[in-house]
Amino acid sequence: MRYQKPKGTMDILPGESQKWQYVESIAQDTFNKYRFSEIRTPIFESYEVFERSSGDTSDIVSKEMYDFKDKGDRRLALRPEGTAGVVRAYVENKLYGPEHIKPYKVWYKGPMFRYERPQSGRQRQFHQIGVEAFGSDSPELDAEIISVGLEFLNRLGIKNLKVAINTLGDPESRAAYHKALVDYFTPFKDQLSDDSKIRLEKNPLRILDSKDNNDKKIVANAPSILDYLNDASAQRFEYLKNLLDDLDINYEVDSTMVRGLDYYNHTIFEFMVTDPAFDNKEITVLAGGRYNGLVEELGGPETPGIGFGLGVERLMLLLKDEDLPSANNLDVYLVTIGEKAERASVKILSSLRRAGFCADKDYLQRKIKAQFKTANNLNAKYTVTIGDSELENDTASVKNMATGEQVSVSLENLAEELKKIEG
Ligand code: ATP
Ligand code: MG
């Protein structure tokens, strides 16, 4: 019997995992600079957490969720996205309390699960990195969230990013727009996809996000949210655009953009890339927005919030090898000749590692030539060779693998000597 991984999942093997670690380290470093701390929440939550936050007409809840009953008959779901769990944790741990400095800023990374048709950059288990900030409604924070996302991707060498922004306005503006959409779509009701017929009843805004080609044609002439903003919402959006100008961030206003969550309001944004890795089709790597009603929806006090999520697999497909640090970190490969050296090597390796070197040896009793070949293949910086005579004379032969230069040093003080050689 040979087992296969479930459809839509991937093994991240050594070689690839270094890239992931690199991306995660840049995430941590970038987000920490903006005072975001890491939060880790469960990979599964009560089903209702997602149902309430994404809304039951969202694709995520209506089609893509991995939900199940556990042995105690609890209805649970594997998280399809990061925000709902973070908001649940924010409320449950009373992070809104006065002892917590606001805005309360967190970032997360980890696997997400959606039952989707797998294709390039679309999986059933995929990974997101994201940030959330609670407790401030300031547009300046909106600008910060957009700029921290950009800085993260820029540091990874991602070029040709298109930043698309839009606003969904405040509840009053949204209500006016809601009415305008119903008025517009109702005459087309019979031509809309089945999904969009339901959306027209429950949540017409979502029709704008339909992936159905015929829906898209109808959507093309739909009214624009920008014509339905009240003064306060319009001014707020203008102010945000000014802030992005101040930051020299190039953006495009896409007035047809909406987002998956029901509770988005005011600022929403997506970062898009056109790249040969995706047949030069435009894809979204990062998406987010303001969700001022969500904390309340999940049982907390009225609290503004804003964040984004970024698809790590899509990011990985965009990363170019030259933007990645070299994976080589083996300092020493120990080459042994004979049984005595074999035994001594255990202690020598241990002392090298304690001194901070990355060190390894041959565990297969291979001949010297084969050991050197392995050292080469592993890109070892140095080989240290020991045999009977070296052990007797307390010497070790150190070879710089890049230059071929060879020196004999005291075996007793090998770690010290190597540090000297390193300079
Ligand atoms: P799409 O319209 O492509 O389905 P979405 O609106 O469902 O995207 P979000 O919920 O906004 O996506 O998730 C944020 C990011 O997570 C996306 O921009 C994408 O990079 C990534 N993402 C979403 N779903 C998947 C998936 N199934 N596989 C890999 N990455 C994904
Ligand atoms: Mg989707």
Mutate to test the pocket of ligand 1, among 79, 122, 209 (most ligand atoms within 8 A of CB): 122
> φ and ψ at 274, to 5 degrees?
-110, 120
Q: CA torsion sign, 391 to 396 to 401 to 404? A: negative
* Dihedral over Cα of 311, 312, 316, 319: its sign: positive
Does residue 24 carry a pLDDT above 90?
yes
- 398 phi/psi in degrees, rounded to 5: -105, 125
Q: Which residue has the higher pLDDT, 264 or 99?
A: 99
| Residue carrying the six token digits 């009953």 | 69
CATH of the domain at 101: 3.30.930.10
Enclosing domain of residue 381? 332-418
Residue 261 in domain = yes
Instruction: For residues 97 and 29, state if they share a domain.
Output: yes
Q: Which amino acid is at 172?
A: E
Q: Please report whether residue 336 resides in a domain.
A: yes
Residue 361 has pLDDT above 90, yes or no: yes
Q: Are residues 161 and 282 in the same domain?
A: yes
Site of tokens 């970062």: 271
**Are residues 265 and 409 located together in one domain of the fold?**
no
299 shares its domain with 353: no
In a domain, 404, yes or no: yes
Distances (CA, A) of 383 to 112, 356, 400, 405: 43, 16, 7, 11
| Residue ranges around ligand 1 (CB below 6 Å) | 81, 114, 116, 121-123, 126, 128, 260, 284-285, 287, 309-311, 313-314
pLDDT for res 86: 98
Last-in-domain residue among 323, 345, 360: 323
Residue-wise pLDDT tens digits, 79-98: 999 999 999 999 999 999 99
The token duo for 287 is: 């998406």
To the nearest 10°, the Cα dihedral for 246, 248, 250, 251? -30
Report whether pLDDT(203) > 90.
no
The residue-averaged pLDDT of 219-246 equals: 96
CA–CA distances in Å: residue 20 to residues 15, 23, 312, 313, 410 = 9, 5, 8, 9, 39
Q: Are 310 and 295 in contact (CB under 8 A)?
A: no
Q: What pLDDT is recorded for position 262?
A: 66
- Please report the atom of ligand 1 found closest to the CA of residue 59: 7
**Do residues 251 and 355 share a domain?**
no
Whether residues 316 and 393 share a domain: the answer is no
Q: For the ranges 204-213, 237-246, 288-297, which has the lowest average pLDDT?
A: 204-213
pLDDT value at position 22?
Answer: 96
- Give the number of the atom of ligand 1 that is nearest the alpha carbon of residue 284: 18
Q: Are 284 and 272 in contact (CB under 8 A)?
A: yes
pLDDT at 261: 67
Residue 59: per-residue pLDDT: 83
- Residue 347, pLDDT above cutoff 70: yes
Ligand 1, atom 24, residue with closest C-alpha: 122
271 pLDDT band, cuts 50/70/90, is very high
pTM: 0.92
Query: Which of 323, 343, 361 is at the close of a domain?
Result: 323
How far apart are the CA of 160 and the centre of ligand 2, in A?
A: 23
Q: What is the mean pLDDT of residues 32-53?
A: 97
Whether residue 136 contacts residue 254, with contact meaning beta carbons closer than 8 Å, is answered with no
Same domain, 363 and 292: no
Whether residues 241 and 375 share a domain: the answer is no
- What pLDDT, on a 0 to 100 scale, did the predictor assign at position 116? 95
Residues 295, 391 within the same domain: no
Cα of 159 vs centre of ligand 1, distance in Å, is 20
Of 128, 211, 286, 318, best ligand 1 pocket probe by most atoms within 8 Å of the beta carbon: 128
Residue located via tokens 């090597």: 345
Ligand approaching nearest to the C-alpha of 261: 1
- Are residues 157 and 98 located together in one domain of the fold? yes
User: Residue 37: inside a domain, yes or no?
Assistant: yes
How much is the average pLDDT of 336-343?
94
Query: Is residue 79 domain-resident?
Result: yes
Query: Are 113 and 78 in contact, with CB atoms under 8 Å apart?
Result: yes
Task: Looking at mean pLDDT, say which of 11-20, 31-40, 173-182, 217-226 comes out highest.
Answer: 31-40
Cα separation, 151 vs 17, whole angstroms? 22
Nearest to 6 by CA among 155, 87, 118: 118
Q: Please, what is the end-to-end C-alpha distance for the chain in angstroms?
A: 54
Residue 377 located in a structural domain: yes
Percent pLDDT > 90 in the chain is: 85
Domain assignment present for 372:
yes
pLDDT value at 269 more than 70: yes
Same domain, 249 and 392: no
Tell me: do 310 and 384 sit in the same domain.
no
Domain final residue pick, 260, 292, 323: 323
The tally of domains found in the chain comes to 2
Answer yes or no: are the C-beta atoms of 62 and 47 closer than 8 Å: no
Tell me if 217 is assigned to some domain.
Answer: no
Residue 5 pLDDT > 80: yes
Using the predicted structure, report yes or no on whether residue 56 has a pLDDT greater than 90. no
pLDDT at residue 260 in the model: 63
Domain CATH code at residue 397: 3.40.50.800
